[in-house]
Amino acid sequence: MLYKDWLIEWLELYVKPTTKERTYKKYRREAEMYLLPALGDHDVRELTAVELQKFSTSLSERGLAPGSVNFVVAILKTSLKKGVSLGVIDRQYSDAIVRPKARKSRISCFGKDEQKKIENYIMKMRRPYLFGILISLYTGVRIGELLALTWEDIDLKKGTMSVTRSCHDSWVENRYVKIFDTTKTQSSERVIPLPRQLIEYMKVVRKQTGARFVVVGRTEYGAEIRSYQRTFDTILRKLNIAHRGFHALRHTFATRALEVGMDVKTLSDILGHKNPMITLDRYAHSLMEHKTEMMNKVGRLLG
């Protein structure tokens, strides 16, 4: 059997039905770009440890970042292992691949002065469309979760916000359309207590718009991701703040939460992480100020 025949079959029968549409499309795109041209015409018996290592090394030589190489190799490994478990392939050697080490990307967030500039701009403009930026700054929701929120998800009496779905832009019939989907992971489904100050603003915005979606847009389905990201980029340029992606708002929330003393378990639940260790690993740098304060308290004993 040629590897391309099994790879396509695996994608259609085992990936497409069990993953989100965008995940399947990403797998398919990477397979068509890298795996099929290089390994597709090989018989699966020819995919020896040496051949697979040559392929992995070639990706790095082409300039792919370690994280991208690891993603392509992960698709290769998963497809081959599934083939072995089903008896389609006799054996596979993907475990012998030595992959490049991916350097952990540094978390980027806004400083307190930058955050205040953003907040003041939104308050000054008084546009309900921009209010979603404040929600992200004070709840840590991802942009897909934010733009999928309806007022049915907000309980202003209890002061809670339910995150039960997400959304993304997809290229359909020569244009981007808004697609609604489940949350990133099961643990991403959560109920977030809202700060009292944010609730007051929410009441005003809800009355102003009368729309179904919390963040209004050009259609009845609310704002679209690409459009909202461009708006955020424009705000940063106007305020002379160095460019950061919208996700930096989530990192900013997490950093401020740790700075005011929120415990890691609570923060992990609010962010929708699978466990507190993920939160601690990702935001350990944000605890340095707190660590310094605690060490100085210990140091007072020296006097």
> pLDDT digit string (tens) for 46-55?
999 999 999 9
Q: Give φ, ψ of 108 to 5 degrees.
A: -115, 125
Distances (CA, A) of 250 to 49, 107, 132, 255: 41, 10, 12, 9
Structural domain spans, the chain: 3-96, 112-291
Is 69 exposed, middle or buried, given 0-12, 13-18 or 19+ CB atoms closer than 10 A?
buried
Q: What is the pLDDT of residue 44?
A: 92
- Position 238 scores a pLDDT of 96
Global pTM? 0.78
CA distance 182 to 265: 24
SS3 284: helix
- CA pair distance 172, 20, nearest whole angstrom: 16
CATH dotted code for 3-96: 1.10.150.130
Given a contact cutoff of 8 angstroms between Cβ atoms, the answer to whether 190 and 269 are in contact is yes
What spatial distance separates the first Cα and last Cα of the chain, rounded to whole Å? 76
Residues 6 or more apart whose CB falls under 8 angstroms from that of 183 comprise 145, 163, 164, 165, 166, 189, 272
pLDDT of residue 303: 67
One fold for 3-96 and 112-291: no
246 closest CA partner among 147, 136, 131: 136
For residue 17, the model assigns a pLDDT of: 94
Q: Which residue numbers in the chain have pLDDT < 70?
A: 102-104, 286, 289, 303
Amino acid present at 208: Q
Architecture category of domain 112-291 in CATH: Orthogonal Bundle (1.10)
